[in-house]
Amino acid sequence: MRIVIHDRLILPDCAQVACLVRALPAMLFLICALISCSSSRVAFAQAKTGRLLIYAIDVEGGQATLLVAPSGASLLVDTGWPGNNGRDAERIQAAMRDAGITRLDHVLITHFHNDHVGGVPELVKRIPVGEFLDHGVNREDSDITRHDFAAYLKAIEGKPRRIIYPGDSIDIPGLNIVVLTADGEHISSVPGIRPVPNPYCAAEPKWPVDESENARSAGILVRFGKFRFLDLGDLTKAKEIALVCPANPIGSVDLYLVTHHGFNESSSHAIVDAIHPRAAIMDNGAHKAGSPEAWQTVHESPGLEDLWMLHTAEDSDAAHNSAEALIANPKGDGDGSYFKVIASADGSFAVTNSRTGKSKEYSRK
């Protein structure tokens, strides 16, 4: 192949350029194959490590929690808000990329408030979903909730949907996921866990009945070997107490997603103290929830090491906010930083703050 030299630059002649042009499609195919292979290696590496990933995604005071099993199978709990130019769907996709997945096997809608179900229409435009799970029908007498429920049904029309009940399981290989609460009802016992008398019930006040969708929240217990994770959506106090009093069927947990974003209407002592979480994550917003009373209840829970917060609760005081290292977005709305949990079957786990890149490890049981 002839090379033409001009001064000190070596340039290809016309034949070489033509050869390169003919080779371009093959080169592009190779690049795409390498990218695909890299993504597959991420998923394979996740399966090989044998660890559960949990992402507490920042949707500004709503909920979107992604679980990815060692097998690569996935569950998204809630989808965040509607609008905001698809912000919440983009943040869910960012977590999925980090986990090395491109589809969601299950999407669980805990209840039909728009900070939980509102993101579904945008989500289904972007991401393949295996099935949707929810507690059935909207039970709240409000126009906004009726609207959000209708928008949800329209968005998932023609897609697999399953109504769940207390005691049902969500099938993800390698995980044991049991539905604790749904549509205002609750489980009385969990397979493999012996209910024990709850000493924290006696001092609990009688809380008013909540007629909103919050009280209908679908709540789940996730078990991965010895590791346990609890997510009760926005379940309010009267229903929390009904679940764990007079006997606690849940036992203790390692990681607790603070119920209802840290609003005072949830996180009763009877449940928070009984489950003895080792760490807790509060998915509050800068100006939503993170109430001082709820923060204090969780912070003082027996055995708790750390209370992580997605945002500084700016309407609260410094005494009722965690240290900045434990906050994903310490200033205003932030930029969508999240928490990533890596859990092992021996009960050990680590929480990483994506803003700082730093992790805290919690030893095995």
Q: Give the type of residue at 60.
A: E
Q: Quick one: pLDDT at residue 10?
A: 42
Strands 161-163 and 129-134: parallel
Going from N- to C-terminal start, the domains of the chain cover 1-49, 50-362
Residue 187's alpha-carbon distances to 221, 236, 269, in angstroms, are 11, 16, 19
Residue with tokens 């786990």: 349
Residue 230 tokens, joined: 């609890």
| Tens-place pLDDT, residues 69-80 | 999 999 999 999
For the chain, give the percent of residues with pLDDT over 90: 86
| Number of C-beta neighbours around residue 95 at 10 A | 24
Q: Give the type of residue at 286.
A: A
CATH superfamily of 50-362: Ribonuclease Z/Hydroxyacylglutathione hydrolase-like (3.60.15.10)
Give 326: exposed, middle or buried? Use CB within 10 Å, 0-12, 13-18, 19+.
buried
Q: Give the whole-angstrom CA distance, residue 136 versus residue 267.
A: 24
Q: Quick one: pLDDT at residue 22?
A: 56
| Tens-place pLDDT, residues 114-154 | 999 999 999 999 999 999 999 999 999 999 999 999 999 99
DSSP state of 188: S
Instruction: Give the global pTM.
Output: 0.87
Strands 279-282 and 255-257: parallel
Residue 270 tokens, joined: 């009877």
